[in-house]
Amino acid sequence: MVLEAVLSGFVLALFAPWIYKVGRGAAGWILALLPIGIFIYFATFVPPVAEGETFVFAQTWVPSIDISLSFNVDGLSLLFAMIISGVGALVIIYAGGYLAHDRDINRFYVYILMFMASMLGVVLSDNVITIFIFWELTSITSFMLIGYYHEKPESRTAALQALLVTGAGGLALMAGLVMMALVGGSWEISELLNRGDVITGSSLYVPILILVLAGAFTKSAQFPFHFWLPNAMAAPTPVSTYLHSATMVKAGIYLMARFSPALGGTQTWTVVVTSFGAVTMLLAAHMAWQKKDLKQILAYSTVSALGILTMLLGVGTHAALEAALVFLVVHSMYKGGLFMVAGAVDHEAGTRDIALLSGLRKAMPITGAAAVLAGLSMSGIPPFFGFVGKELIYESTTEFDMSAILLTVFAFLTNGLTITAALLVAHKPFFGSKLSAPKHPHEAPLTMWLGPVTLGTLGLLFGLLAGWVGEFLIAPAVSAVQHHQTEVHLALWHGFSMILLLSLVTIAFGVLVYWKHEVLGRWFAPSNVISKWGPEQWYFWSLDGMLGFGRWQTRLLQSGYLRNYLLIIIFSTVGLGLYTLSKYNVFSQNTIFRPIDVTSYEFMFMALIVASAFVVTQVRSRLAAVAALGVVGYGVAIIFVLDGAPDLAMTQFSIETLSVILLVLVLYRLPRFIQFSRSRPKKITEITAALAGGGFMALLVLLVTALPAQSRLAPYFAENSYKLAHGHNVVNVILVDFRGFDTMGEITVLGIAAVGVFGLLKLRLDKTRQTDTPPDVLTTQHQSADVFPVMEREQS
């Protein structure tokens, strides 16, 4: 059933365009039925899971390499699955209103449903490869959704950036997961969680941890990988709501929580995870309140929230995990709601710039009310669920045994600035005496206020019913992360304590910054110059660096000059060959030079061959070159005669004669030779290449012929060519019988050559067809003199 629940989203995505065609404006409502159904389905798991049960559903997939479609419903995955399907339903309904007049809305539905299914897959999978597959699918669907307005360059840039950053992390994660599976000896996550000591005790533990965290940190936008998330706001608001605040960016958090029994509990884990989280939460909170765009404020405060979650997972105590899971729920509700509010404001009032907005509550009372509900939860005001979350955060930081004070200070500043951000988003546009907006605002339609009102109300309800939420949702999740059954008692009121005092001071600090945010913003403005050299610049530098290096190496290798290509190949062959010969000590073990009886006439022919070969390289006329080549061939043939192979010699004579005649006939009409290499260094290189190539071949032949000949075929051919094949001439029998199949192939080659020559001479498409293909070079700047025009880069 869980498999079907996960895959149903993909199936529905295939039919979404058709449903849109039929349903039009109602399509959002129709499509939302699926996530609602999934939500209800998972809700039925809540009571048994709260009792401590877990459900495993396994289905084989690729058993040859240990990959199964296994799913595990425990407290953690259940909590995530309900957030994903619940927020998913609201977002799809919301999008039906927000994108109502957009021509690509059908595509939106396709991708958002695919995303939902992938995200469910991530949180439910129990196989390290299956989880990775869904993980990557969320990156891909996110790419398609960020690039929704794909005709805008900034959308494309942001989509690519998000894909590359999360994709890089994803690949690290893949390596990490495979290594973890190999070390832990299982591909099932539930098995690996039982083998935490094996994994943390392994010598590969630190690399595994780094690789897995690289995946989690990039996905969950931790510093210094955070920059893609604010840029991803180029996506339509429903996407920002769903992917980039409520669900996808929490996949990294899920991953760390899921694997903390296997990877956590070590000093390395605590130090690394806590410090990345702490730095991220504070830096991002500090960026958030300085922004003017509603979505940018929300984006940075999302990064900050992800930092808080990471930090809490790093601390890893019972209190911290409790805090993390409560805050996760809190954040999904208020941030999802506020994003939808921001979208509604943008949609109805025509801008997201807070400087231009005020008093909207008069025109948009329902949206305004939803904003207030969400804003109060975000600020952690009792009796909202956010208050419970913030109390727990302070509880865990003050108990942190490594450096409680420092971490609490970080948390204090972060929480305070979060309140400022909440006020900027939920107070600034809606309050104030004067109604101000670029266009005349109206209340948003039902589709668009349903989501934020629901989420805002839930934030209040969860606060009031904190005990119940703790027992049924939070406790099972904490148990899953801790990997043993545990209890959670949530309450709004903990009595008067240090922590309550801290909460009050936080609120005061946040309100103070909000009150003076314009003045403070000017003070801090210069510090933002730093972002010019910040991580986002590193991203662009590395991209440019990669491309620059790529161009350099490609120009070096793929230079466009056939001459260079030949030289590289010849030198590679000779170099590798010589290295191998010396590596195996062939020179010391084998004879190369040995006394051979060379008669005077043999020596004469040899001298003739060498001399003619030299002439070929020196003459300026083609005819002379062809003639000299012919002499080389004849010389070789004569050596065949002298060595007792007259049949071979006859063949060679006829071939040489024929080729000289043919070449002369063809070359007669062509212009004179063009000197390829004029400069001295080039000549030297070419002479070296020629000598190296020839010398290496000669060396090889000497080595082989120094050994006793041991042809296995010759005696058989000699013996059987008449006896079995009924032919006197052994060469003929070899050609037409023993190896007749070769001859068939060679005849085919000749036939094809004839077809080719005919086609080349007769068919000229140049005049009729305009092509647009570039030559084999990147740039055409350095046109040097020694290029033979037809052979080298003609077009420019």
Partner 1 sequence: MNILLILPIIIPFITGIILILAWNNRPFQRAFSVVGAAALLIAGLALLRDVWQNGIQVAQMGGWPAPFGITLVADLLSCIMVILGGIMVLSIGIYSLMDVDKGRESFGYYPLLHILMMGISGSFLTGDLFNLYVWFEVMLMSSFVLLVLGGERNQLEGGIKYVTLNLLSSAIFLAAVGAMYGLVGTVNMADLAVMVQRGEQAGIIQTLATMFLIAFGIKAAIFPLFFWLPSSYHTPPAGVSAIFAGLLTKVGVYTLIRVFTLIFILDVGYTHTIILVLAGFTMVSGVLGAATQNEMRRILSFHIISQIGYMIMGLGLYTPLALAGSVFYIMHHIIVKANLFLVSGVVNRLRGTYQLKKLGGLYRVYPMLGVLFLIPAFSLAGVPPLSGFWAKFALIRAALEIDSYLIVAAALVVSLLTLFSMTKIWGEVFWKADPAEHPETEENPPLSQLAYLIIPIAGLALITVSIGLFSEPFFALAIDAAKQLLNPAEYIQAVNPVVGGSL
Nearer to partner 1, 129 or 257 (CB): 129
| Contact between residue 310 and residue 404 where contact means Cβ atoms under 8 Å apart | no
Q: Which of residues 95-114 bind partner 1 (CB under 8 A)?
A: 107
Nearer to partner 1, 164 or 663 (CB): 164
Q: Which of residues 628-647 bind partner 1 (CB under 8 A)?
A: none
Q: Which string of x and - marks every residue 751-790 that binds partner 1 (by CB under 8 A)?
A: xxx-xx-xxx-xxxxx-xxxxxxxxx-x-----------x
Q: Which stretch binds partner 1 (CB under 8 A): 422-430, 479-487, 525-533, 566-574?
A: 566-574
Q: Angle between the 498-515 and 517-524 helix axes, to the nearest 10 degrees?
A: 80
Coil/strand/helix, residue 52: coil
Nearer to partner 1, 78 or 734 (CB): 734
| Contact between residue 721 and residue 727 where contact means Cβ atoms under 8 Å apart | yes
In whole angstroms, give the CA distance from residue 746 to residue 220: 62
CB of 778 to partner 1, least distance (A): 7
> Considering the rule CB under 8 A, would residue 717 count as an interface residue with partner 1?
yes
> Considering the rule CB under 8 A, would residue 547 count as an interface residue with partner 1?
yes
Q: Which string of x and - marks every residue 579-618 that binds partner 1 (by CB under 8 A)?
A: -xx-xxxx--xx----------------------------
Nearer to partner 1, 182 or 690 (CB): 182
Helix (H) or strand (E) holding 492: none
**Angle of CA points 491, 497, 499, to nearest 5°:** 75
In whole angstroms, give the CA distance from residue 527 to residue 523: 8
Counted residue by residue, the chain has a size of: 796
Nearer to partner 1, 160 or 366 (CB): 160
Q: Which stretch binds partner 1 (CB under 8 A): 221-229, 358-366, 371-379, 738-746?
A: 738-746
Which listed residue (137, 340, 423, 458) binds partner 1 by CB under 8 A?
A: 137
* Residue 433 DSSP class: S
Which listed residue (703, 731, 735, 787) binds partner 1 by CB under 8 A?
A: 703
Coil/strand/helix, residue 436: strand
Q: Which string of x and - marks every residue 498-537 that binds partner 1 (by CB under 8 A)?
A: ----------------------------------------
Nearer to partner 1, 133 or 363 (CB): 133
Which residues are bridge partners to 55 per DSSP? 73
In whole angstroms, give the CA distance from residue 572 to residue 576: 6
Nearer to partner 1, 47 or 548 (CB): 548
In whole angstroms, give the CA distance from residue 34 to residue 705: 78
Could you tell me the sign of the dihedral formed by the alpha carbons of 150, 155, 161, 167, in that order? negative
**Angle of CA points 321, 490, 306, to nearest 5°:** 35
Reference 507, options 658, 375, 663, 345; nearest CA is 375
Q: Which of residues 67-86 bind partner 1 (CB under 8 A)?
A: none
CB of 513 to partner 1, least distance (A): 40
> Considering the rule CB under 8 A, would residue 670 count as an interface residue with partner 1?
no
Nearer to partner 1, 318 or 739 (CB): 739
- For residue 611, give both structure tokens: 């001399």
Nearer to partner 1, 446 or 718 (CB): 718
CB neighbourhood size of 247 (10 A): 27
Which listed residue (191, 399, 602, 737) binds partner 1 by CB under 8 A?
A: 737
Coil/strand/helix, residue 396: helix
**Strand 67-68 vs strand 55-57: parallel, antiparallel, or unpaired?**
unpaired
CB of 416 to partner 1, least distance (A): 39
Which residues are bridge partners to 436 per DSSP? 358
Q: Residue 217 carries which side chain, given as an amino acid letter?
A: F
CB under 8 A, 24+ apart: contacts of 588-593:
590/703, 590/706, 590/707, 591/706, 592/699, 592/702, 592/703, 592/706, 593/702
Nearer to partner 1, 496 or 741 (CB): 741
Nearer to partner 1, 7 or 366 (CB): 7
Q: Which of residues 193-232 bind partner 1 (CB under 8 A)?
A: none
CB of 76 to partner 1, least distance (A): 23
Torsion of CA 43, 45, 51, 55, to 10 degrees: -150
Q: Which of residues 331-370 bind partner 1 (CB under 8 A)?
A: none
| Contact between residue 54 and residue 1 where contact means Cβ atoms under 8 Å apart | no
Q: Which of residues 672-701 bind partner 1 (CB under 8 A)?
A: 697, 700-701
Q: Binding-site residue total for partner 1 (CB under 8 A)?
A: 115
Nearer to partner 1, 176 or 630 (CB): 176
Q: Which string of x and - marks every residue 155-194 that binds partner 1 (by CB under 8 A)?
A: -x--xx--xx--xx--xx-xx--xx--x------------
Q: Which stretch binds partner 1 (CB under 8 A): 62-70, 222-230, 242-250, 424-432?
A: 62-70
Nearer to partner 1, 57 or 696 (CB): 696
Q: Which of residues 385-414 bind partner 1 (CB under 8 A)?
A: none
**Strand 67-68 vs strand 71-73: parallel, antiparallel, or unpaired?**
unpaired
CB of 350 to partner 1, least distance (A): 24
> Considering the rule CB under 8 A, would residue 621 count as an interface residue with partner 1?
no
In whole angstroms, give the CA distance from residue 394 to residue 599: 101
